[in-house]
């Protein structure tokens, strides 16, 4: 699956509906300090199911909702959608048949998050399952944040193994086995 578009609305500084195309394998985002570059990466982590506000540089999860400015009132909700090309049919289960896969998360001011795959409401863990073994989870290695290289260099062997298992696609089966054993 290849990420082709990001759509944000009411998320951090992206108050108006904004579509960010990802037209090729290598895309650079440039702009002055504070213009919202890191907010784009926060949006990707968030839609993939990040539940820790501190990982998104906030104090509470509602901090991702646009909080108003001198001439704009605060937004009532935040929404982020990732669109993936799935013409190779790599997505798991029922999703493999779709040429395009959209993954969306919406958060309202009362703190309720809803998740959708291709406009069908799903559980957070269905999103987790969709990306397990691809490296693109909310904590996957597809997003290398500041400090992560240092963390990898200093990681204990058992921590490194988690990354290797994710890269090899083994983590999906390990998780299934753990679930079966716990039943």
38 part of the interface to Mg ion, by CB under 5 A: yes
Could you say whether residue 13 binds ligand ATP (CB under 6 A)? yes
Closest residue to bound Mg ion by CB: 38
35 is in an annotated binding site: yes
Please report, for residues 27, 48, 117, 125, the alpha-carbon distance to residue 104 in angstroms, rounded to integers and kept in the order given: 22, 8, 6, 13
Verify binding: residue 34, ligand ATP, rule CB under 6 A: yes
Work out which of 16, 17, 27, 63 binds ligand ATP, going by CB under 6 A: 63
Token reading at 13: 């500084």
Residue 108 binds ligand ATP, judged by CB under 6 A: no
Residue 134 binds which entry of ligand ATP, Mg ion, none, CB below 5-8 Å type-dependent: none
Shortest approach of ligand ATP to residue 29 CB, angstroms?
Answer: 8
Q: Is 32 annotated as a binding residue?
A: yes
Instruction: Indicate whether 39 belongs to the interface with ligand ATP (CB under 6 A).
Output: yes
Task: Decide if residue 84 touches ligand ATP (CB under 6 A).
Answer: no
The verdict on whether residue 38 carries a ligand-binding annotation is yes
Of 4, 67, 108, 113, which one interacts with ligand ATP (CB under 6 A)?
Answer: 67
Which residues of this protein are in contact with ligand ATP, per CB under 6 A? 12-13, 31, 33-39, 63, 65-67
Residues of the binding site for ATP: 32-39
């Amino acid at each position: 699956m290849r990420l082709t578009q990001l759509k944000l609305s009411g998320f951090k500084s992206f108050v108006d509906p904004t579509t960010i195309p990802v037209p090729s394998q290598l895309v650079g985002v440039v702009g002055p300090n504070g213009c919202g570059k890191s907010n784009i990466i926060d949006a990707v982590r968030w839609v993939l199911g990040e539940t820790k506000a501190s990982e998104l540089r906030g104090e509470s999860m509602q901090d991702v909702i646009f909080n108003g400015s001198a001439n704009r009132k605060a937004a009532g909700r935040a929404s982020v959608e990732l669109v993936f090309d799935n013409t190779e049919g790599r997505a798991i289960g029922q999703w493999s048949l779709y040429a395009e896969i959209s993954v969306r998360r919406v958060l309202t001011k009362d703190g309720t998050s809803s998740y959708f795959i291709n406009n069908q409401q799903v559980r957070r863990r269905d999103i987790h399952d969709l990306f397990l073994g691809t490296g693109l989870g909310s904590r996957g290695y597809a997003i290398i944040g500041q400090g992560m290289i240092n963390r990898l260099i200093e990681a204990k062997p058992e921590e490194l193994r988690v990354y290797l298992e994710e890269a090899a696609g083994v983590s999906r089966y390990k998780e299934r086995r753990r679930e079966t054993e716990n039943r």
